[in-house]
Amino acid sequence: VLAGLYNPGDGHIDPYSLTMALAAGARKYGAQLNYPVQVTNLNSRSDGTWEVETPLGIIRAKRIVNTAGFWAREIGKMIGLQHPLIPVHHQYVVTSTIPEVKALKTELPVIRDLEGSYYLRQERDGLLFGPYESEEKMKLQDSWVTNGVPPGFGKELFEPDLDRIMEHIEAAMEMVPVLKNADIINTIAGPITYSPDILPMVGPHQGVRNYWVAIGFGYGIIHAGGIGKYLSDWILQGEPPFDLIELDPNRYGKWTTTEYTAAKARESYGFNNIVGYPKEERFAGRPTERTSGLYDLLKSKCSMGFHTGWEQPHWFYKPGDETGYKPSFRRTNWFDPVGREYKQVMEKVGVIDLSPFGKFKVKGTDSVKLLDHLFANVVPKVGSTNISHMLTPRGKVYAELTVSQLSPGEFMLVTGSGSELHDLRWIEEEVTRGSYKVEIENMTDEMGVLGVAGPYARQILQKLTSEDLSDGSFKFLQSRHLKLSDIAVTAIRISYTGELGWELYHRKEDSLALYSAIMEAGQKEGIDNFGTYALNALRLEKGFRAWGAEMNCDTNPLEAGLEYFVKLNKPADFTGKQALKQIKEKGLKRRLVYLTLETDNVDPEGNESVWHNGKVIGNTTSGSFSYSAQQSLAFAYVPTELSKVGQKLEVELLGKNYPAAIVQEPLVLTEPTRMRLQRKGESPKV
């Protein structure tokens, strides 16, 4: 043993007593508990309320929360949902009295040995030991997924299987030799419900009104109290009390099949005690059914990343590159290739597969009214696009979308791959609440998207269409339907790279033909691919914020530096407007700042501590190497009094504090700004 971490706050609790204590607390505050009463069916009523059928009669409910543990799939099935959950067998063993343990004056702390992959604690005068087997050895109870949980299965246990955990028992005996002399007096083997990524699913579920879930708890005892409070606060306040986006049940969708869930649960269980890396990729269950039209063509040419079921190129290989996924806390094999792709976009032109974007069509008589109420920005004119934010009633950022009015009253809304159903649920809820007459179509799986960006983007696309793509005719943030090489696309002049670029929305079955036509047309200009790592470096240099990093439901748009997109003066009373006015009046306590850092072979990723005068005063939200400034770059939240340009700070990376300084953003001007300055005769800084 080289080192250990001691947490004096660690402990253990009897789950039965905890459950009873929580129930007593709930009763004290007016909850009515009937136990045991089985829910046998669920019926949704046209007003959004529920009829919950039980042997004791029907209970009417405004909303229901599925908290049925390993029965949660069965409850979901009652309303046509297939929750991606699977029970896994987990075992722990309890030993007889061990004299050395009995002689202890204070109770042993809970010991976790990551290498041996087990936890161990004192149980009376003996020890209790629970291992996590490797993904090959662990056991899934998949028959419960295919055939359902056997009726009546309650507190029963599975047949113990000590052979399966023998290597962990041996590892524990090495670490804690007194175990060698102890007898195993009890083995507990029970079902734990796993979601694919082992995190629970907590919150309202998209597609079913007033149906909430708190399911998929691999560690449900430790999470129970916190999750109960989080859920009840959300229900009472109408918005999440704080950001727990990782637990959003809507991160899963139709693509999370039983096969996928089983493969992922196996992997997640086996990885319980492994070291996680930045930019981590896990490969079980991939690819899913949800692949882009370019997947087969690109899969061997790049390192793919997994985004809500999709495979999206992170970076592309060239001869001489060390290929594949090489995890590290430091820069690794992707670093130079990403620099090459960065240069490609800045100096020539690059193509990126953006098909994982969430895409919705919204139309109908009330579409303008709806979007004016939902978004803090103004509704774009016909043929125009803008970046818009949906705020919570308390004025926090719920989502960021690109909104285009394609024809009068017909809109296309685009969001990131990770927020598709998260955003759709919020929009649908508002439609119902306000009885808006609109139709919403989720086009995510049918539509492909290609991004083309760089100085030659116009020149190349112009070869494929008779439409005039010149700056005068197709301005920045304009959108229109056109044909490229006879393929119908909706083109938006926008690019998250901040360079001259278009996003081309098209039928997924046309992706390959469109991609080939663009690559062919760009031969002379030296067109090439780029991936999301280069995109991240490009957007950070331009000072573009990312949803989920710089903004989420813990941040308001003013502290996030998004004032430009928030129109407090627009007539519509958009959600969050009043709260935001108050926030503005009171003044901001913290601000998002733009930092350059002096580092060595490591870059910030987000969530690192920011230090000043020996104290942690904030945290980074995202970061990257800036290939133009040749130094690391990060966004961070710091107190307002420490947020001025020039302020010196430190950022902690891998246990070391590196010097950082707040600089004026952006580091590199966007192409539209450069053009505007050029037209005015000013020299742009690039």
Binding part of the chain for ligand FAD, among 69-77, 307-315, 454-462, 526-534 by CB under 6 A, reads 69-77
Minimal distance, residue 235 CB to ligand FAD, in Å: 17
Per-position x/- string for 458-477, each x denoting binding to ligand FAD as judged by CB under 6 A, each - no binding: --------------------
DSSP output for 94-119: EE---HHHHT-SSPPPPEEETTTTEE
Minimal distance, residue 88 CB to ligand FAD, in Å: 9
Q: Do residues 381 and 566 lie in contact, with contact meaning Cβ atoms separated by under 8 Å? A: no
Binding part of the chain for ligand FAD, among 187-195, 376-384, 419-427, 599-607 by CB under 6 A, reads 187-195
Per-position x/- string for 143-182, each x denoting binding to ligand FAD as judged by CB under 6 A, each - no binding: ----------------------------------------
| Residue 132 in tokens | 């996590």
Residue of 18, 188, 512, 519 that binds ligand FAD (CB under 6 A)? 188
Could you identify the residue written with the tokens 């987000």? 606
Size of the chain in residues: 686
DSSP output for 384-420: BEEEEEEE-TTS-EEEEEEEEEEETTEEEEEE-GGGH
Nearest position to ligand FAD, beta carbon: 69
Residue of 65, 69, 268, 490 that binds ligand FAD (CB under 6 A)? 69
67 belongs to the binding site for ligand FAD (CB under 6 A): yes
Nearest to 39 by CA among 31, 47, 50: 50
94 CB contacts (<8 Å, ≥6 apart)? 123, 126, 127, 128, 184, 185, 186, 187, 188
Q: How far apart are CA 3 and CA 360, in angstroms?
A: 52
- Number of residues engaging ligand FAD in binding (CB under 6 A): 19
Minimal distance, residue 225 CB to ligand FAD, in Å: 11
Q: Is the peptide bond before 287 cis (omega within 30 degrees of 0)?
A: yes
| Residue closer to ligand FAD (CB basis): 6 or 35 | 35
Per-position x/- string for 198-237, each x denoting binding to ligand FAD as judged by CB under 6 A, each - no binding: -------------------x-xxxx---------------
| Residue closer to ligand FAD (CB basis): 118 or 565 | 118
Residue of 86, 94, 172, 192 that binds ligand FAD (CB under 6 A)? 192
| Residue closer to ligand FAD (CB basis): 195 or 415 | 195
Minimal distance, residue 161 CB to ligand FAD, in Å: 13
Residues of span 608-627 touching ligand FAD by CB under 6 A: none
362 CB contacts (<8 Å, ≥6 apart)? 370, 371, 410, 411, 412, 413, 427, 438, 439, 440, 441
Minimal distance, residue 194 CB to ligand FAD, in Å: 10
| Residue closer to ligand FAD (CB basis): 217 or 476 | 217
Minimal distance, residue 411 CB to ligand FAD, in Å: 39
Minimal distance, residue 308 CB to ligand FAD, in Å: 24
φ, ψ of residue 642 in degrees (nearest 5): -110, 25
367-374 vs 420-434: helix crossing angle, rounded to 10: 110
Minimal distance, residue 520 CB to ligand FAD, in Å: 55
Minimal distance, residue 207 CB to ligand FAD, in Å: 21
Residues of span 84-123 touching ligand FAD by CB under 6 A: 90, 92
Residues of span 72-91 touching ligand FAD by CB under 6 A: 75, 90
545 CB contacts (<8 Å, ≥6 apart)? 400, 551, 560, 561, 562, 592, 635
| Residue 393 in tokens | 């009633």
Q: Do residues 548 and 245 lie in contact, with contact meaning Cβ atoms separated by under 8 Å? A: yes
Q: Considering Cα of 326, then 329, then 331, then 335, what sign does the dihedral take? A: positive
Cα radius of gyration (the chain) = 27
| Residue closer to ligand FAD (CB basis): 70 or 496 | 70
Q: How far apart are CA 111 and CA 120, in angstroms?
A: 5
Other C-beta atoms within 10 Å of 371: how many? 27
Binding part of the chain for ligand FAD, among 65-73, 204-212, 350-358, 426-434 by CB under 6 A, reads 65-73
Per-position x/- string for 19-58, each x denoting binding to ligand FAD as judged by CB under 6 A, each - no binding: -------------------xx-------------------
Q: How far apart are CA 115 and CA 279, in angstroms?
A: 22
φ, ψ of residue 593 in degrees (nearest 5): -120, 165
Minimal distance, residue 18 CB to ligand FAD, in Å: 10
Q: Which residues bind ligand FAD (CB under 6 A)?
A: 38-39, 67-71, 75, 90, 92, 188, 190-192, 217, 219-222
